[in-house]
Structure 1
């Protein structure tokens, strides 16, 4: 079984910038904080971009334990989890069942809110873009647990590494409250390293100031 790493964080940041997924500047978040960068994984909307993201998730999963099923929360997580299943099969010769949830329960056909692989009695990894407040992840964990699954962990594209409602980050809060690991493909530190390597002095200074104020 191949465990060759195909994901390069710096290459992913380059691609994210070229697609407008990642922007540096001044952005007001839902929390009211004024952030020096913005990340919208929904703009990874072409084959090359989605493939690179999926290879990153697949690489990470090869180093995770208990990967019985991978799961994408509706709606953004659905293409992510499907592409990751393909990447695991193509690049790592590992075939992993995958599923997702509906926002609203279906009352005909197979019914319910879960689609795809059976999760009952299985250890499930959730794949999503970011954890901002942790509310959405907690909802998905609850849905999976009600279906008899054991949530083994969460994979996200970006860890903002900033405080949530407490001195912990949203990711740290999820890890502590749910007692599961949360891994990220890139972090705010990776973004700062990227800016430093490109000589973007002002953007880096803005990031450092933001991290000083809100970082963990």
Structure 2
């Protein structure tokens, strides 16, 4: 390992071997941000505890991008941010960064640092696998008036990352590729040929056409798919009105065209015991599914009573409901334990401005 204080600059080859020494190059089974399960993983987060490696990679990156045209520099939190800070200092360029969570106090700014609207920003990140997260980053900056054209990554572990970003109008630059790393490790007998083949097979598979998904077995999902095919429509009607008269007048006009009706039964000012039977008659006559957008969000025992009892007895007539998983997976057991032909849509994201759902919550819902 290079000693602190040495003037000799780190080479790309030395950088790879230093990563291997500190355990940043791992082999096994790892779930990536994209949801893919990879047989290898580059964990560059611990570089911040090794000043000589951090200094070395920042110098390599500074040399790589010194002739590129940009106004400000950023790093994608958290791993790339300290790297970008050093690079910005070396190149005498302003640093900005995007908060991972929207700020709810103070100035409320999402981008920290000084920049002008229309400023061209170069983005540094540690890795690229599919490019999806890079595009999300660019879109977030562009909403704030910052122009993103180029991404620079320490390691390109993708098979077609450059091409994928190019399709969206961005250019990818990298310090070192996966193939270069594999070759260097093999030269030093730090990886077997079998493991190299496994890594290459996985990387190649990312760009292959997706295999046909397993057949759906959920009966309500099958029912929904069947209706979409039969009616040649995927139209869902959201009837958020407060009177039965208006509700059924609208339904009369469009019922034959829809595959699903979304209701908010608790906003009806004149709800009575005749509403549900009439709604069920419409569903039978016009062949659509009833979906109550209740957004259940409490503990299992509470939602059980909200769903099955009370004034509305939602479980008796709504085949689908919406559910927040904020209370944990137990909410689903509370709702559906012992029930047949009832299902839900999990609310993993919301479109409303200022909502508190973040990426971590969404990912946990999918898991």
Quickly name the TM-score band, shorter chain normalised.
Answer: 0.7 to 0.9
How many Å separate the matches in 2 of 1:151 and 1:211? 30
- Contact 1:82/1:98 (<8 A) preserved: yes
Q: Deviations over 1:123-180 (max 9, x none)?
A: 1100111123333222221121112221130011111133xxxxxx344312222x12
Q: Which has the higher contact order (CA 8 A, sep 6+)?
A: 1
**Aligned residues of 1:119 and 1:144 also touching (Cα < 8 A):** no
Q: Secondary structure at the match of 1:27?
A: strand
Check the 8 A contact 2:130/2:164 in 1, yes or no. no
Q: In the alignment, what sits opposite 1:59?
A: 63
Q: Cα gap change, 1:214/1:127 in structure 2, threshold over 3 Å: closer, same or farther?
A: closer
Distance in 2 (CA, whole Å) between partners of 1:213 and 1:157 is 20
- Rg comparison, structure with higher value: 2
Structural mapping, 1:1-216, within 5 Å: 6-23=9-26, 25-30=27-32, 31-35=35-39, 37-46=40-49, 47-64=51-68, 66-86=69-89, 88=90, 94-162=91-159, 169-177=160-168, 179-200=169-190, 203-212=192-201, 214-215=203-204
SS at match of 1:194: helix
TM-score using structure 2 length: 0.49
Q: Which structure is higher in strand share?
A: 1
* 1:199/1:108 CA distance change after superposition, 3 Å: closer
* Shift in Å, 1:62: 1.2
Displaced runs of 4 or more, over 6 A: none
TM-score by length of 1: 0.79
SS in 1 for 2:101: strand
Q: Which structure 1 segments of 5+ residues have no match?
A: 89-93, 163-168
Q: Report the number of matched residues.
A: 195
Shift of 1:39: 0.3
- For 2:301, the equivalent position in structure 1 comes to none
